[in-house]
Amino acid sequence: MSQHLSEIDGKGYWSAVVRLTISLLLIWFAVSYGAGILFRDFLDQFAIGGAPLGFWFAQQGAIYVFVGLIFYYCVAMTRLERKFNVKG
Amino acid sequence: MDAAFWTYFFVIATFGLYIGIAIWAKAGSTDDFYVAGHDVHPTLNGMATAADWMSAASFLSMAGLIAFLGYGGSVYLMGWTGGFVLLALLLAPFLREFGKFTVPDFVGDRYYSTAARVIAVVCALFVSFTYIAGQMKGVGVAFSGFLGTSFELGIIIGMCIVFVYAVWGGMKGVTYTQVAQYVVLIFAYTVPAIFISMIITGNPIPQLGFISNVRGEDVAMLDKLNTVVRDLGFLEYTTTNKSMIDVLCITGALMFGTAGLPHVIIRFFTVSSASAARVSAGWALVFIAILYTTAPAVSAFARLNFIDTVHESTYISSEVDYDGDGVINGDDYTFRAQQITQEGGKPVPPWFKEWEVTGLLGHNDVNGDGVIDYTPLPDENGSISYAPGMNQLAIQTEVSPLDRDIFVIANPSIASLPGWVIGLVVAGGLAAALSTAAGLLMVISSAISHDLCRRTLFKNMTDKQELLTARFSAAGAVVLAGLLGVFSTQLGFVAQVVAFAFGLAAASLFPIIFLGIFWKRMNKEGAIASMVFGLVSTFAYIYFFKFGGGTPDQYFLGVSPEGIGFVFMWASGLVGIVTALVTAPPPKDIQDLVEDIRVPGTRISHGAADSGMAPVPAE
């Protein structure tokens, strides 16, 4: 049976969730729109293996970071749920 | 055993498997039919989502598209993966916690409005039908190209298969067939990619080959590709002629569109809880990333290999008796190829001849020298232009026709792989198309049976009647989708999936779902204004530039129709917020509901918000 909202600090939990979400979305923005598009020309002067770095972020790197972001979010959310005693 | 035998073998074997799964997974209730009983394992749902998401276009066309667009193709790679981050962080867990069946369910109940529900149904139906027509067309092309049936018969066979597992098994049948389809399609994609990576770079992992040197040479693969295409007169591979603002907006429209597509969102209703939805989104992206990080490597390898083997090769006709034995057969190619090699020339590669018969590629000898020149031909003004906005894909060469799908489907023969690999690739392409079609069918049938019939028109329907209606609407949708596929070449909007489906999902569905969760104050009036604005503005813009005679120099802020959904998404969100602020706040029940879905495990029924249908609690 569902617990009711009054028993837990819903507001505190929610603001922690929003903070976490915003910081992860900043990384999401930085690796795709940032590294892959806006700052690509700058990053292209560096190389990863034989690929220009900005180009590599646009075609490979951003995707790897996306995967990492979602799993980090899962772990961090479980931690928040435990901290605020939310069922999850 | 030849390729034709293996193609039949794999296609029949996989179709048999899908039907077997469907019989095992019969849906017994509306809960089973719409959301697979809410108890799919997160990892399996991740696989099903990956198959649901990766369409015929991802499987067959994306690598070829990137091979020609180079850096410009990155919009698809970032756009079609980055959307899953938005889904996982902003939508999926909360919509699961909301605990109902469909996207219009959320819109209708959160915004306590039948009008909002009906507009959401219209959006979902338009987006899904645009998308599904392309899938059915893909099935028709695969059948007619590889199994020698007619295009129409191919679509009918595909329709029958989807009919069995979607109508019989509902979401439950679709889910487990999608899991099987994922396995088929990822295997079919990666096996040839590994071999072609070994040929070009000597590294068996395509993602590493992508950043390695060319095999046996001291030059990076991408550097070599840049040099080669530049010397031929094409744009360098790691550059684009699209403006930065356009690349940014297209990526944005694809990302937010992905997050707003109903057939992707509903996959997360099938797991047991909000936290399962989060984990599931992570797995979905892992399974998608396997294909999406392989694709750009395949693109670069294939382009390089294509130029290496085809450019400046001497064409060998299939209609000349070269060895003079009175018959024209395979010996003529071998004979002539040896002759050319002895003369110090390069014969056209065997795979080119093999695929020429399908009409996907050919030689148009413009200068009449008998040699295939893979260099850009001047347009009617006598110039070769890469001005911004100019469509790179429209550049012609002596390799004409040249269907870009060849870069995926010819890979096995380019890499001289055994015949069974070709059969596997065909089965993989069909799996990609059918799995996406099935996911879309579920959106269409539930929008009609659940949102229109049960929740709007006939509120007293029993569960049993609704299940029957759902099966009938799924059946009707299969037939309609097939017809759209058959007539897809005459229907211009089908080819504009990227612009229409993603643009509309981004501009009309994403903002109100997002605001519905993250802004308690968002109300009915705001939601309706936002959806209508997003729908009308985006549709009008795309229509004007795709069919109404608009030209690229008239683009708003330089943004092409493919990217405009991103611009109008912000605009429609703003329209919604302003409208909500000048009208009355939503009722208390609704605000309580929003608080509940934010905190997992606290969802209870809230009067007006849930009077039409009780939420299904998380496990």
DSSP B328-371: -SHHHHHHHHHHHHHTT--BPPHHHHHHHTTTSEEE--TT-SSE
pLDDT at A55: 95
Q: Is A10 on the interface with B (CB under 8 A)?
A: yes
The helix or strand, by DSSP H or E, that contains position B554, with its residue range, turns out to be none
Q: Which residues of B touch A28 (CB under 8 A)?
A: 82, 85-86
Cis preceding-peptide flag for B401 (omega within 30 of 0)? yes
Output the DSSP codes for B27-41. --SHHHHHHGGG---
Q: How far is CA B101 from the centre of its chain?
A: 23
Look at residue B391 and give its three-state secondary structure.
coil
Q: Is A17 on the interface with B (CB under 8 A)?
A: yes
Q: Which residue of A has its CA nearest to B282?
A: A70
pLDDT at A2: 47
Query: Residue B251 — pLDDT band, cuts 50, 70, 90?
Result: very high
* d(C-alpha B235, C-alpha B385), whole Å: 10
Q: Which residue of B has its CA nearest to A30?
A: B82
Q: Residue B1 pLDDT > 70, yes or no?
A: no
Q: Is A16 on the interface with B (CB under 8 A)?
A: no
Q: Pick from B602, B604, B610, B619 the residue to mutate for testing the A interface (most A CBs within 10 Å).
A: B602
Q: Is A2 on the interface with B (CB under 8 A)?
A: yes
Residue B149 φ/ψ, nearest 5 degrees: -85, 175
Q: Which residue of B has its CA nearest to A62?
A: B78
The alpha carbons of chain A give a radius of gyration, in whole angstroms, of 18
**Which of B78, B211, B601 lies nearest to residue A86, judging by beta carbons?**
B601
Q: What percentage of chain B reaches a pLDDT higher than 90?
A: 42
Q: Is B596 on the interface with A (CB under 8 A)?
A: yes
Q: Is B294 on the interface with A (CB under 8 A)?
A: no
Query: Residue B617 — pLDDT band, cuts 50, 70, 90?
Result: low
Asked if the ipTM is above 0.90, the reply is yes
**What number of C-beta contacts closer than 8 Å exist between A and B?**
150
The structure's pTM equals 0.92
pLDDT digits (tens, 9 = 90+) for B290-303: 999 999 999 999 99
Residue B400 φ/ψ, nearest 5 degrees: -155, 130
Q: Residue A21 pLDDT > 50, yes or no?
A: yes
Query: Residue A70 — pLDDT band, cuts 50, 70, 90?
Result: very high
- Smallest CA–CA distance, residue B150 to chain A, in Å, is 37
pLDDT digits (tens, 9 = 90+) for B45-65: 999 999 999 988 888 888 988
Tell me the CA distances in angstroms from B345 to B310, B315, B324, B340, B400, one per residue in order.
12, 11, 21, 5, 22
The helix or strand, by DSSP H or E, that contains position A52, with its residue range, turns out to be strand A51-52
Q: Pick from A37, A41, A59, A82 the residue to mutate for testing the B interface (most B CBs within 10 Å).
A: A59
Q: Residue B426 pLDDT > 70, yes or no?
A: yes
Tell me whether residues B84 and A13 touch, CB distance under 8 A: no
Q: Residue B600 pLDDT > 70, yes or no?
A: yes
Query: Residue A19 — pLDDT band, cuts 50, 70, 90?
Result: very high
Q: Pick from A63, A73, A79 the residue to mutate for testing the B interface (most B CBs within 10 Å).
A: A63
Query: Residue B494 — pLDDT band, cuts 50, 70, 90?
Result: low
pLDDT digits (tens, 9 = 90+) for B56-90: 888 888 898 899 899 999 999 999 999 999 999 99
- Smallest CA–CA distance, residue B562 to chain A, in Å, is 17
Query: Residue B583 — pLDDT band, cuts 50, 70, 90?
Result: very high
Output the DSSP codes for B61-91. IHHHHHHHHGGGGHHHHHHHHHHHHHIIIII
Q: Is B205 on the interface with A (CB under 8 A)?
A: no
Query: Residue A1 — pLDDT band, cuts 50, 70, 90?
Result: very low
Q: Which residue of A has its CA nearest to B295?
A: A59
Give mean pLDDT, residues B575-590.
94
- Smallest CA–CA distance, residue A37 to chain B, in Å, is 7
